[in-house]
Each structure stands twice: as C-alpha cells, then as structure tokens.
Amino acid sequence: MKETGVQIMLKPIGIIHSEFTTKEETPIQGRFRPETIGWVELYEEYAEGLKDIEGFSHIFLVYPFDRAGQVQLVRPVLLDDDPHGIFACRHPARPNGIGLTIVQLLGREPMKLKVGGIDVLDNTPLLDIKPYVPRFDCFPEASEGWFKGKEERPKPPGRE
C-alpha cells in the first residue's frame, strides 16, 4: 500500500492539568482512580464551544502523548507479562501518539472544566473535547481481547 504523504497539523485548544507530573505516578486508566481530580483549561478563543457541555456526566478528552517515549510496535504492557502489538494495547508510545480518555465532568467555569478520573500528565496539550453519549459510545457486548480477566497491578520499576 502506498503512503498518502498527507501531513496533519493540529493546534491545541487548551491545557489539561492534573496532579501527575511523572508517567510512573499516572494511573493507567482513570477508571481505576475515579477520585483523581483535574482541570481542563480552554484557550479563550475556544471557550464559547463549551456551551451546553454541563448537561453531560462524562466527556472524552483527546490529547497528544507528548512525553510517551520511544515507539515499539511490539512491547511489554502493564496488565500482562507477554508483549503485545501496539495496536492491541493502550500504551502511550504509539506511531501517532494520540491519547483518548473518558473523564467525569464535575463542574464548569467559563473557560475551565473540573473533571474526575483523570489519567493524563499535568500540562498536556488538549486537542479536542467530545461528549460521552452512552447510546452511541457504550457497547456492552464488545469483547476485551487479551485484556479479559486482567486486573490493575502496580507498575514494575522501569516499565511505563
């Protein structure tokens, strides 16, 4: 297959703030740490886009993995001792390091959102916000692949 040569330029719309300053202390999924609180701060030119967002209990945050590390197409992962392909896991060091997380929307100020269950490093650029709509986004019959039966476990030293 021939590469298209398309170049994509993305401009951040704001900054994600959290208590996490290192990858090691950041939860691997916010659902494992719902008590963690963060703030999503939009740049002034985008604040109007928050109109009506407070009606949603959860939102998607889209952001770059700006401190993810070296890309490996097959790598060890946190929830399993066996290596898996990068497209079969959620490791942040990806060919196009785009992060996606679902957080609980706890409150809104004119240009800021208070969120719970944050799993993003502090001062991460924000690319987009989308509402989580269970009718569109929830597939209870979806299979978990190799994740099935895997529980959260502590990050081993040296493993991101």
Task: Write out pLDDT tens, residues 139-148.
Answer: 888 887 776 7
Determine the distance from the C-alpha atom of residue 24 to the mean position of all C-alpha atoms in its chain, rounded to a whole number: 15
What dotted CATH number matches 14-135?
2.40.30.70
The whole-angstrom separation of Cα 74 and Cα 80 is: 13
Domains of the chain, residue spans: 14-135
* Reported confidence tier of residue 67, pLDDT bands at 50, 70, 90: confident
Strand stretches in the chain, DSSP E: 14-17, 37-42, 58-64, 74-77, 80-85, 98-108, 112-116, 124-126, 128-131
Structure tokens at 54: 């407070």
Report which residue type is found at 38: G
Please list the residues that pair with 38 across neighbouring strands: 115
- Of 17, 118, 143, which is closest to residue 60 (Cα–Cα)? 118
Lowest-pLDDT range of 98-102, 123-127, 144-148, 152-156: 152-156
**pLDDT computed for residue 114 by the predictor:** 98
- Of 151, 59, 146, which is closest to residue 108 (Cα–Cα)? 59
The whole-angstrom separation of Cα 8 and Cα 55 is: 32
Residue % of the chain over a pLDDT of 90: 49
**pLDDT computed for residue 92 by the predictor:** 83
Q: Which residue has the higher pLDDT, 47 or 33?
A: 47
**What is the value of pTM for the model shown?**
0.84
List of residues 6+ apart from 25 with CB closer than 8 A? none
